[in-house]
Structure 1
């Protein structure tokens, strides 16, 4: 479990970045942090793996303050994907990059080699490629693979799909979904609300350094007050359901108004459209 208890952060000679942030993330959750630039999302992520320490309050990993944990211990518990992969890639071949984490943790050996070989095959890498000569999407995949190969119980992702085309985004998110299904806790900052709706089961909304909403994803995406306060634009299918609910009040209690996944929402919209057509035919008859 990750807990933030009245966390305050400010950078040197700057206004406060986080202003009394509180939340708890249970093991095995898939949580998205959303909000406008400057809301405090990335700062929150960096507190989770000890890159930053709070000025006041506590950040706890499994009940232990990050201030009391060594960097190596935090690295075993929390894997971190930067928004820009070039901030974490540091080796001259793909294979060396994938082995780097094991060596840093003192875990190099036959088991590490076997896990790296399996990841190279799964991701389709050439082990001898120079990481810095790969395109942006491939570097992002490599940075993600360097975390996945270590199998940390918590994976923190800061804008994992930024700069990727649709196919690259689908591949990255499919891998993230797989590690979540295998038991990892996934925490993701994401500006793409379609991705948030498709993958995250819980959404924490931040604005001006504070948490302004924390609920199941589709409750957040249907909350107009939250959307306006955090300047968020919901996915088109959610926006359609909101407009239908406003235009046809009876839909507020129908599946369109209570769906909790994109698939449920699409099915509900189709069902309501069919029902409306049937009603029109009955009146015409």
Structure 2
């Protein structure tokens, strides 16, 4: 049964405030913000998502997929809000550059168990200096990969368990863009952190959401599941100096989606 992920086990609920959309758009480092909602997407004649618009006003949209590869809309997926359904053949191209230094990728998502690696978002190329956030097969362990000489950092949820199948979760992938610190965070669980010297930036390459519309010859590891929200920042929101930004995002996720981060 599809559902919403709980708060961290044993965690006390914190009073949250309603965050105005203008406040989300004005967050320091805001790059783009996307939801599957009226006025924030363009649908084709079949009711599938042709363009997922950038609500921040920065003009960084997702789109450019052939009609057969556009995700469908699942109404009332989470607290009355819709989600984009990716069934293993859908994907949208990020029609903008991604931050090459520090960044944060945040997703509200759910996925069934799968026997294959699932890339939620990233470059998924075979060259170095790329990045992606993905789910390991079967266990649905959430991982964030920034590759430079095969560097991999990920949250395999060894102590807290993998993400639950068919339950909405928050995924946060962050990179500091200086000391080579790669972070992966699931819900209210503390982030997994890996630091390696010599990793200070990623390459400016095309990024894909769901990865069902990759060019011919590029290895595919498509996402199967639903996406309700995406936030991309040009800062590492898990850094101590960014705690006010993270606090605002936590309020937004708690009140709009009922999720802890």
Q: Which has the higher contact order (CA 8 A, sep 6+)?
A: 2
User: Per residue, is there more strand in 1 or in 2?
Assistant: 2
Rg: which structure is higher? 1
TM-score (norm 2): 0.30
User: Per residue, is there more helix in 1 or in 2?
Assistant: 1
